[in-house]
Structure 1
């Protein structure tokens, strides 16, 4: 299984266009040791030719231009993307669908019924695509038992589970969470038996997750915030990380502690907010992650299982 990180940043990327926090200001001025990051997305392949795209960020065109396997190579118009899996209906994970509107071949999209509802009502991106390339929607079950495969994605099998989270602000059920608003996915290479767990939005380790995490050879999870009060402390928000569905890395019950039981897995953080000090490659926070055996994803990172 090949996993390619197209984008490792949270919404807005890094640096964020309107942010003058120490990280963003430092990166623009070249005074900190850090890499630019586009908004989070990965693609996965079992044969190195046909790829499944997880989420479509607003930066998708740049991401495709920087990764040749997704580019046209077999016909006058085509792509290495054989299917798209949406983890949620958030803007930073779905807006890129509008950038993939060209062509006569319908986009093959796998998502939960809740995500499909949000993207045909509150933010009707899929309806808009119907006026261009069109969409084939494939529902995803979230019971942790039902697997699915994507035609053309050789040797790959997927299992999804619901994660506790809030729907996007534009969702008709914003204040009434439903299973399937956000999912985590176990990706399996049926040829080698290797598995990757992917959940860029993870608010807590719920009881049904450890059995899935224990199977994983790579755990790629939410790296949004370092502390629970990061945005409050900077005067940027009045809500905690946990209250908006992100498990911070530090503190009691944080991501470092939560990942400690999974010794065999390669552990990688993705969806990293521009304010997070782990973006600084020489920071004390990055060093602490490394002591816990946890990596920080970056655009262009490749993982082979």
Structure 2
């Protein structure tokens, strides 16, 4: 009996350690991408949600999920970049320092995709009320740069030189160093304040796509299947699992449902399907639930789902 109790305690402790140390179990390559957040703009739990999906957090059954962001790390060059400036940016930058690369420079640059709240509002923490440091590089497209420059409170960041812009152009590659380069490309989305881009991130060995927000795939001038085949990994918009998931007209907030993307790739090889990593989940999306039947069925088909701490060599 005593042995049994000791065994149970050891098992529970081991499980807890495994959950808390995703990072320690990942290989540290010289250049890699790490997932720093997976939730849609409003995060998880979601404001005003009293449904089971979010009450699981308040009852202690499910942890908070940070808003979508990727870290790009070059151990050899001692540099790191952030894709998206989310409301969770403080802990995401701390994550990069604690688990990946600590340098004298908090971050070597931030790449923005567009002006929706989960993707740029974290810039506020670089201002005088928070970090107050000058010179943080922000890679932005023309409309995004114009929006931040001409509208407060973001314009104060520009005026005080808390952020300095590095201009991006559609399909024009930025060389970060000898090992890494990044190319932005326009995608169709609800562009109220700025254009929207995805990114191709290229290392010396592998290449990744990052498209956290887009309207339906057929609205894009490029073929998503062809684009996935050209790379080694593709982080794709998976905001909603299927139509009717929320009590709002979903045509007003178009995204490719996971069901639609899965159907689009149904005749492709397992190798191609395995390149797809779904990300950017709304709080209602069953893909946020670790053991949901919907998620398990899609995984059986060969697709992947992003989680915090996930890493991909470049």
- TM-score (norm: length of structure 1): 0.81
Q: Does 1:258 pair with 2:264? A: yes
Name the structure where helix makes up a greater proportion of residues: 2
Structure 1 residues 223, 125: CA separation in 2 closer, same or farther (over 3 Å shift)? farther
- Among residues 113, 136, 148, which one is paired with 2:142 in the alignment? 113
Q: Does 1:4 pair with 2:34? A: yes
For residues 41-65 of structure 1, give each alpha carbon's deviation from its aligned partner in whole angstroms, at most 9, with x where no partner exists: 1111243631121111011112222
Structure 1 residues 26, 228: CA separation in 2 closer, same or farther (over 3 Å shift)? same
Matches within 5 A, 1:85-100: 85-100=111-126
In the TM superposition, residue 223 of structure 1 has moved relative to its aligned partner by 1.4
Structure index of larger Rg: 2
Q: In structure 1, what is the equivalent of residue 187 of structure 2?
A: 163
Q: In structure 2, what is the equivalent of residue 26 of structure 1?
A: 56
Kept after mapping to 2: 8 A contact 1:50/1:154: no
1:196, 1:259 → 2: CA distance? 18
2:50, 2:237 → 1: CA distance? 23
Alignment size in residue pairs? 274
Q: In structure 2, what is the equivalent of residue 282 of structure 1?
A: 291
Structure 1 residues 218, 71: CA separation in 2 closer, same or farther (over 3 Å shift)? closer
Kept after mapping to 2: 8 A contact 1:10/1:271: yes
Corresponding residue SS for 2:64: coil
Kept after mapping to 1: 8 A contact 2:37/2:69: yes
2:114, 2:82 → 1: CA distance? 13
In the TM superposition, residue 98 of structure 1 has moved relative to its aligned partner by 1.1
1:286, 1:219 → 2: CA distance? 18
Q: Any runs of at least 4 consecutive aligned residues in structure 1 with deviations exceeding 6 A, and if so which?
A: none
Structure 1 residues 100, 71: CA separation in 2 closer, same or farther (over 3 Å shift)? farther
2:158, 2:233 → 1: CA distance? 36
Matches within 5 A, 1:1-305: 1-30=31-60, 34-47=62-75, 49-68=78-97, 73-75=102-104, 78-79=105-106, 81-101=107-127, 102-121=131-150, 123-142=151-170, 144=171, 146-150=172-176, 153-168=177-192, 171=193, 181-189=195-203, 191-192=204-205, 194-205=206-217, 206-210=220-224, 211-232=226-247, 237=248, 239-240=249-250, 242-250=251-259, 254-260=260-266, 261=268, 263-264=271-272, 266-305=275-314
Unaligned runs of 5+ in 1: 172-179
For residues 39-92 of structure 1, give each alpha carbon's deviation from its aligned partner in whole angstroms, at most 9, with x where no partner exists: 1111112436311211110111122223326899444xx31x211110111111
1:204, 1:23 → 2: CA distance? 25
In the TM superposition, residue 187 of structure 1 has moved relative to its aligned partner by 0.8
Structure 1 residues 25, 43: CA separation in 2 closer, same or farther (over 3 Å shift)? same
Kept after mapping to 2: 8 A contact 1:186/1:212: no
CA RMSD across the alignment:
2.4
Corresponding residue SS for 1:119: helix
